[in-house]
Homo-oligomer: A and B are copies of this chain.
Amino acid sequence: MLNIYLGEAKVNLKTPALKNLIIKIFKKYGLSQSHAAISANALINAELVGAYGHGLSRLKMYCDRISKKVINPKPKIKIKKISNSISHVDADNSIGFVSADIAIKQAIINAKKTGIGLVAVKNSGHYGLSGYYAEQAVKHNLVTMIYTNAPPAVAPHGALKTLFGTNPICFGTPTGSKIPFILDTSISMINRGKIRVAARNNQSIPEGVALDKQGNPTTDAKEALEGVQLPIAGFRGSGLAWMVDILSGVLTGGNHAGRVKDPFDDFSGPQNIGHLFITFKANLFQKNYNQRIKDNIKTIKKLPKIKGVKEIMYPGQNKFNRYKNNLNKEISINEIIQKDLEFLQK
């Protein structure tokens, strides 16, 4: 069963075969069984929700970083208790999935105990999708806000050089229904992961999202990776990116001000990414929170729609639908990733 990727292009993600294969690979590279399983779950989730730039396309990068000793496969992660609400995690350069998993679980414990949790992480790495961790908190009926920084991709307003990462802003809340509200938006016009996938597949990117290294507009994904990504909304997006750099880097003890290394290109040291997790009980102030948010969503969905729009969707709804659909069908795995999987398990 483990050789499903050796030549076969499709796989059902619901089956344990792929997960077992990824776990086997991570364990080969030195991760413990539990850390390998946490990481495999996060990668498969990214594939299921259609966030391919955060899925299997990154597996080889993680393994390469372990080989080059810039991800620590056997981290001694320390959780420092500052109060019943506040914790500080030193991730000891673990793979990002593991430190984020520990941190969101601590943030959930803190919020359930005291109403609010604040957990900062330093010495971590790329952890995939913020929304994946937000979902965990939302399942416990918590509202959550998550910030992480990333390697330079976006130029500060007024600057000619990239410095901010695509620095996502993530917000999650229960909705009183089984589909959570998960806003997980980068402050760049397009996710860097999407540009990477386009570059690997020789696809072009939309106009207006990036400049080449000379500062000219480009739709060439490879040129965009060497150039500058544009922030949303000019100085407003630049300000939001700066905020995320402060919250996840300056505050936590993580790298900031453009010092987070590109995980694909720069093996000169660990990334030392920082993350910040804020969680609080949804019904702190209004006991009928779930009823209120149901009403909120229902009212907005009832608005007259632009021609061609079937339904006004809230953030997270599309992703949830993709997840559900993908669970029940065979997924195509592209040739490059098949080769990665073949190579990594040898």
The interface residues of chain B lying within 8 Å CB-to-CB of A143 are 246-247, 251
Report how far A185 CA is from B237 CA in the complex, Å: 9
State whether B242 touches A236 (Cβ < 8 A). Answer: no
Cβ of A204 within 8 Å of any chain B Cβ, yes or no, is: no
The interface residues of chain B lying within 8 Å CB-to-CB of A163 are 299-300, 303
Known: A251-B282, A303-B159, A309-B158. A240 touches B169 (CB 8 A): yes
State whether B160 touches A306 (Cβ < 8 A). Answer: yes
State whether B300 touches A159 (Cβ < 8 A). Answer: yes
Task: In the complex, identify which listed stretch (A51-59, A78-86, A260-268) lies at the interface while the others stay far away.
Answer: A78-86
State whether B246 touches A293 (Cβ < 8 A). Answer: yes
Kindly provide the distance from the CB of A343 to the nearest chain B CB, expressed in whole angstroms: 36
Contact residues, A252-291 vs B (CB, 8 A): 252-253, 256-258, 278, 280, 282, 284-286, 289
State whether A183 touches B115 (Cβ < 8 A). Answer: no
Report how far A292 CA is from B157 CA in the complex, Å: 21
Task: In the complex, identify which listed stretch (A13-21, A29-37, A310-318, A325-333) lies at the interface while the others stay far away.
Answer: A310-318
State whether B289 touches A250 (Cβ < 8 A). Answer: yes
Question: What string of 1s and 0s marks CB contacts (under 8 Å) between A203-236 and chain B?
Answer: 0000000000000000000000000000011011
The interface residues of chain B lying within 8 Å CB-to-CB of A280 are 86, 118
Cβ of A173 within 8 Å of any chain B Cβ, yes or no, is: yes
Kindly provide the distance from the CB of A266 to the nearest chain B CB, expressed in whole angstroms: 17
Contact residues, A168-195 vs B (CB, 8 A): 169, 171, 173, 181, 183, 185, 189
Cβ of A341 within 8 Å of any chain B Cβ, yes or no, is: no
State whether A296 touches B256 (Cβ < 8 A). Answer: yes
Report how far A250 CA is from B292 CA in the complex, Å: 6
State whether A236 touches B232 (Cβ < 8 A). Answer: yes
Known: A251-B285, A312-B157. A292 touches B256 (CB 8 A): yes
State whether B239 touches A120 (Cβ < 8 A). Answer: no
Contact residues, A110-133 vs B (CB, 8 A): 114-116, 118, 120, 122
Cβ of A197 within 8 Å of any chain B Cβ, yes or no, is: no
Cβ of A156 within 8 Å of any chain B Cβ, yes or no, is: yes
Kindly provide the distance from the CB of A82 to the nearest chain B CB, expressed in whole angstroms: 6
Kindly provide the distance from the CB of A108 to the nearest chain B CB, expressed in whole angstroms: 16
Report how far A256 CA is from B116 CA in the complex, Å: 23
Closest to A244 in B: B171
Cβ of A65 within 8 Å of any chain B Cβ, yes or no, is: no
State whether A181 touches B246 (Cβ < 8 A). Answer: yes
